[in-house]
Structure 1
C-alpha cells in the first residue's frame, strides 16, 4: 500500500501477516538487502534477482532475493534455502512403504528416466535431490543441469543454465552428455529438444531425473506428446512418473480427533476396503480423522512442517501398447494404472489423514474436494 508496508511470512506454504512497516523503514531494509544481494541500488523500475548467505550462531541459510517494481514502489521477496532439508529420507518425504519399495527398485536400474511432476513449490527439487543422495557413490558420475543451482551437493557435479547467453537446458544437456555421466538430473523439461535428448539419453545407458509441470502423473504422457515427443519413445524410456503436492503436517502435541457423521465414517470404511492390495496398511477398525487446534509448540497454527502427497505411475509393457493406440486419453492411462494398483494423490492424502499425519481440509486444499464415490467407483472399475 502507499502508506503502509505489510510483512508476511509463508509458513509451510500458507501466508501469515507478521508486521507492518513504515515506508521509510522499509526503504532502509530494502536498500540493505539489495546491497547484500549485489543488486543495483539505483535501479528501481526493473526486476532484479540476487542471493546472499545468512550466518547465524547455530546454522546458516542461503537467501534468494527477488525485487520487482510495483505501483507503490519495489516489492521484495526473500526465500530461505535450508541445506539441512536435503538430508531427508524417503519416509520423511511422506512416501508409503509400497512406494518406497517401487522407488528403490527403479533407482537400481542403470538407465531410464524418472519424472517428477507438480506445480511450482510442490517439493520437486527436494525429491530429486533425495533421489541423488540415495544412490550417490564414488563409482557413479553424477551431473546436474539446473536453473539456478539452489543447493550444493557433495560428490555431484552441478552446472547451471544461462538462457541470456544462449545456454539453455537443451544446449546444456548436449554438453553434459559429452562429460561421460552415469546419472543426469535436468531441472526441468520445457521443450521438444530437451525432452527428446533426455529420453534418448535414458535409452543409451544413462539414468535421468527431471521435472515436468502437470497436474498429475497421468497428465505427463499427453504433455510430452503435446511437446512433440514420439509416443513410441515414452514406454521404453520412462521408468516411473511421480506426481506430488505438499500439505501441512498436524502438530502431534495438539491435534484433535474430529467427530464424524455416520455417512462419512461409512465412506471411510468403504475407502479402506477398496484400497489396492499393494498398499501396505494397518487395519482401521474405526476410522479417525484429526484437525488442527493450535498450541505453544506450533505457534498456535496447529501444524508443524509439511509432508508430501504422492502418486506413482510405473510404465509397464502394458503402456507401450496403449501409447501406440490412436486417440488414447488421460482416463485411459488412469484406467490402465488402476489395474496395477495405482493410488492417486488425493487417496494418498486420505491415508495420511487416517494416520493422523494431516487433516482432510489440507488434503482438499492440495487436491480439491474429496469425492468418495468417484474414488471408490474408479478403484473398482
Structure 2
C-alpha cells in the first residue's frame, strides 16, 4: 500500500484567511484529518494516526487571533481569550460551485507564550456521509441500529469517529427507509445534500446555540415537529438525557453520543448526571429505552496507512434487560462486561481480531487487553 507523503507547507510571511485555506486544501488532499494551530509552534497536521510538523515558521498569537476573527465572528478572538470557547463549521471552496471542504473548528484559550493565547483545531468533515457498508459492522449490530423506537448510543472519546458512524446510520435511513429526521448538533458537521432520499425522506438539521439554546430545549422543540427519528449531538446533562428518553417513550428512535470509556459504564455515567435521589429512576428509564450501545476508539494501523476502529457493542434485547433489571444498577458495569465477553462483542475480542489480521500492533492490542 502506498502511504501518502505529507508535504511541508511553505509558510507565508503572515497567515491570513487565504493562506490558511491554501494550507488546508494541501493538507487535506494529502490525507490529514486534523490541523492544529498554536502559538510558538509551526502548523501541525494529524496524519496516519500521529501529529506531524508541516510548517517551518512558528505562528504568533496575533496571527492565530486574526485567523479566528476572519473565519468566525469579528471579535471571536477576544471571546476565546476571555474563556469562551468557540465551536463552529467552516467551509472552503475547492474551485467549482459544487465541491467544498468542510471542517469542524474548535477554538479555545491556552497558555503558550502568554495568558491570552489561542489554540485552534480544525477537523475535516467529508462532503458526503459515508455508507453504512463502509463501516465494517457485524451483521447483527448493523441490523439492530434501526429500531422503530428507543435509544441508540455511540460512546467514545473526542475524535473516535462517533459522528461519522451516526452520519452513516442517518444516510442509510434516508436512502433506504424514508423518514423525517430532525437533528440538534454543535456544530452541524455532516450535511446530506447529496444523499438520495427516494423522495420520501427528509432531514432538517439545527445547530446549538444558533437555532436552540441547548440540546435539551432542542429535543423539546423537535418533539413538536413530528419527526420519526431524532439525533441529539451529545447527551451530557440531565435535561438533555431526560428529554431524549421521553422521546423514546413516545415512539421515536433517538441517536446520541456520550463520552465514556466503555459500554459497561455508559448507562451509569448518564444516570450520574441526575441529582442523587433521581439516579435510580433515571438508570431504570435509560435501560428501558436503550436498544444498542456502541463504544468506539480509533487506533493507528500497523502499517501506518490510517486508522482502524475498535468497537465493543451490546444489543439490549429482552434477555439482556431482564438480566440487568434483576441487579442493582451499580452492578451493571460488571454484568455488562460478562455479557460482552460471553457474546464475543467486547473491545478485547475486536482488538484480537484486528491484531490477528495484522491491522494493529501487538502493543496496541496488549494495551486494550490490559485495560479491559
Q: 1:119 to 1:219 in 2, by over 3 A?
A: same
CA shift in 2, pair 1:21/1:314, >3 Å: same
Counterpart for residue 369 of structure 2: 370
1:246 equivalent to 2:308? Answer: no
Does 1:361 pair with 2:363?
yes
2:338 alignment counterpart: 335
Deviation by residue 1:135-160 (Cα, 9 ceiling, x = unmatched): 11574110111111122223411012
| Alpha-carbon spacing, 1:108–1:34, altered in 2? closer, same or farther (3 Å) | closer
Match of 2:164 in 1: 126
The TM-score, its normalising length taken from structure 1, stands at 0.71
Structure 2 CA distance for aligned equivalents of residues 174 and 21 of structure 1: 49
CA contact (8 A) 1:62 1:82 kept: yes
Work out the CA distance in 1 between the residues paired with 2:76 and 2:247: 44
2:313 & 2:64 partners in 1: Cα distance? 45
Between the aligned partners of 1:40 and 1:234, the Cα distance in structure 2 is 41
Shift in Å at residue 189 of structure 1?
Answer: 0.8
Aligned with residue 5 of structure 1, among 23, 41, 66: 41
Partners of 2:184 and 2:218 within 8 A in 1: yes
Contact conserved, 1:37 with 1:65, CA < 8 A, in 2? Answer: no
Post-superposition Cα deviations, 1:276-313, rounded to whole Å, max 9, x if no partner, equal xxxxxxxxxxxxxxxx3xxxxxxxxxx22222111111
User: Which of 16, 21, 35 pairs up with 2:57?
Assistant: 21
Cα 1:318/1:338, change in 2 over 3 Å: farther
What is aligned with 2:269? 223
Deviation at 1:176, TM superposition (A): 0.4
In terms of Rg, which structure is larger?
1
Tell whether 2:86 aligns with 1:86: no
Given that residues 232 and 324 in structure 1 are in contact (C-alpha distance below 8 angstroms), is that contact kept between their aligned partners in structure 2? no
Q: Does the aligned pair in 2 maintain the 1:61–1:82 contact within 8 Å? A: yes
Q: Please show how residues 127-206 of structure 1 align to structure 2 within 5 Å.
A: 127-137=165-175, 139-154=178-193, 155-162=202-209, 167-206=213-252
Provide the residue aligned with 1:319 in structure 2.
Answer: 320
Residue 22 (structure 1) shift? 4.8
Long gaps (5+) in structure 2: 1-37, 194-201, 274-278
Q: Secondary structure at the match of 1:304?
A: coil
Is the Cα–Cα contact under 8 Å of residues 128 and 190 in structure 2 kept in the other structure? no
Structure 1 match to 2:306: 305
CA contact (8 A) 1:30 1:76 kept: no
Q: Deviation per CA, 1:175-234: give whole Å up to 9, x if none.
A: 100100101111111122222221232132111111111110111122233233534323
Query: Could you tell me how far apart the structure 1 residues matched to 2:225 and 2:155 are?
Result: 27
In the alignment, the residues of structure 2 paired with residue 350 and residue 12 of structure 1 have an alpha-carbon distance, to the nearest angstrom, of 21
Structure 1: any 5+ residue segments left out of the alignment? 251-291, 293-302, 376-381
Residue number among 102, 126, 131 corresponding to 1:62 in the alignment: 102
Task: Mark the CA change 1:318 to 1:337 in structure 2 (over 3 Å): closer, same or farther.
Answer: farther
The Cα offsets for residues 250-288 of structure 1, whole Å up to 9 and x where unpaired, read as 4xxxxxxxxxxxxxxxxxxxxxxxxxxxxxxxxxxxxxx
Take 2:178 and 2:228, find their aligned partners in 1: how far apart are those partners? 9
Q: 1:168: Cα distance to partner?
A: 1.4
Change (3 A) 1:72 1:134: same
Structure 1 position 38, deviation (Å)? 3.4
Q: Which runs of 4+ in 1 moved over 4 A?
A: 26-30
Aligned to 1:115: 153
Instruction: Give the deviation of 1:246 after TM superposition.
Output: 0.6
Which of 53, 68, 73 aligns to 1:38? It is 73
Residues 48 and 230 (structure 1), Cα distance of their counterparts in 2 relative to 1, 3 Å cut? closer
Partners in 1 of 2:129 and 2:320 — Cα distance?
33
Contact 1:218–1:313 under 8 Å retained in 2: no
SS at structure 1 position matched to 2:179: coil
Checking the alignment, whether the CA contact within 8 Å between 2:352 and 2:365 is kept in structure 1 is yes
Conserved 8 A contact 2:355-2:361? yes
